[in-house]
Amino acid sequence: MRILVTGGRGFIGSYLTEKLLALGHRVYILDREINFADNPPSFRKAMLGRRKMLRRRPDAVYPFDIRSPRKLTEAMNKSRAEIVVHLAAVSMARPPKRYEHLMGPINLYGTLNVLNAFENSPFTRRLVFPSSSLAYGHYTRDPQPEESYLNPVNDYGIMKAACEYAIRMSKKEWVILRPTSVYGFTDCANRVTQLLLDAAVSGRPAWVIRGEALDFTYVEDVVNGFIKAIASKAAVRQIFNLSRGVARTADDFAGVLKTYFPKFIYEVRPPTHQEVSRGAQDMTKAKKILGFVPKSDIEDGIRKTLSLMVRFGGLPAGSVRLRK
Ligand SMILES: NC(=O)c1ccc[n+]([C@@H]2O[C@H](COP(=O)([O-])OP(=O)(O)OC[C@H]3O[C@@H](n4cnc5c(N)ncnc54)[C@H](O)[C@@H]3O)[C@@H](O)[C@H]2O)c1
């Protein structure tokens, strides 16, 4: 199939592109290569890690901005993509202050541009869109199923929810996924998992919020879910949670890192009003309809992440003992 991936140079997008190419698809990337974490060295390192890790080249890369409807149409026409996977976004819930104003133009209006280009393209039949667990706001069920009321409590979640509603009006094929707390090698969007990993590796202290339970999901599992959403007939016009389906605390995540880096020190701080109270997502629907089976718990996912860091990320092999 011919597949256009917006945000294909990003964290999830780079793993997805590699996998799609390995499966024999033709992949076209639309990506401006921008990062909103305000940490240029970490971004450069992640981009270098991706270049070293990725073995395959996409069929074309369009350095376009999703804020330009004209450029989106150009990419759709040039690629003649049958499927669009729209990942490009300000991908963090709390970007630094100086980037906050970009969330509306990129996450909301940029996605509406993608939707509009998709609707008008004679080539494209399916749009796959990652929403987020933050579209739910505070979880109301344990585990949280897809049909739960969307009551987002931050701009990121509000815009993801709004985009879901807009996409659901399309008469063409669409699939909405709700990933959460994705982690792995080359993440550089200042998420708690990446901050803990960076601190453990570089010997800096870190902190976690007491009791903060998240459904940590290893990036390769998420990518397998995207592949199923792209290919499955039964996925059409459906919304799926896309995570491991198990709640673990950030404290647990840090604890696993400490088994590799015994000198790693982290403080457990009391919760503040800023956290969104989440937990496990209900994975029954994705398992039943998509046949989605997440493989890695955090023990396994962290081991895989560290192993990739040793191979492609400049982490000295002697600094960490990797268990088989
Ligand atoms: N990583 C997670 O935990 C997680 C969880 C839920 C949902 N998501 C969603 O999945 C998607 C991918 O997330 P990620 O972690 O890979 O993010 P990422 O920040 O690593 O990648 C986003 C990519 O989009 C590109 N981009 C941003 N704005 C652009 C624009 N205006 N025009 C063109 N390209 C642009 C960036 O250059 C980057 O390569 C996002 O939509 C994110 O909201 C991620």
Low-confidence ranges of the chain (pLDDT < 70): 324
**CA of residue 107 to ligand 1 center, whole Å:** 9
**CA of residue 262 to ligand 1 center, whole Å:** 33
**CA of residue 318 to ligand 1 center, whole Å:** 33
Distance (Å, whole) CA 71 – CA 67: 9
Q: Is the CB of 197 under 6 A from ligand 1?
A: no
Q: Is the CB of 144 under 6 A from ligand 1?
A: no
CA–CA distances in Å: residue 159 to residues 151, 247, 250, 297: 11, 25, 25, 29
Looking at residue 194, its pLDDT comes to: 95
Tokens encoding 65: 């901005």
Instruction: State the closest ligand 1 atom to the C-alpha of 110, by its place in the atom list counted from 1.
Output: 31
List Cβ neighbours of 75 (8 Å cut-off, separation of 6 or more). Answer: 4, 28, 30, 62, 64, 117
Looking at residue 68, its pLDDT comes to: 98
Tokens encoding 304: 């895989």
Cis amide linkage into residue 63, ω under 30° from 0: no
DSSP per residue, 160-228: HHHHHHHHHT-SSEEEEEEE-SEE-TT--S--HHHHHHHHHHHT--EEEETT-EE--EEHHHHHHHHHH
* Assessment of whether the complete model's pTM goes beyond 0.95: yes
Q: Is the CB of 88 under 6 A from ligand 1?
A: yes
CA–CA distances in Å: residue 185 to residues 74, 197, 261, 273: 32, 9, 17, 30
Its CATH architecture, for the domain 2-180+217-243+280-297, is 3-Layer(aba) Sandwich (3.40)
pLDDT tens, position by position, 14-39: 999 999 999 999 999 999 999 999 99
Distance (Å, whole) CA 125 – CA 157: 26
Looking at residue 268, its pLDDT comes to: 95
CA–CA distances in Å: residue 318 to residues 25, 41, 260, 271, 307: 38, 23, 11, 36, 12
Looking at residue 321, its pLDDT comes to: 83
Q: Is the CB of 26 under 6 A from ligand 1?
A: no
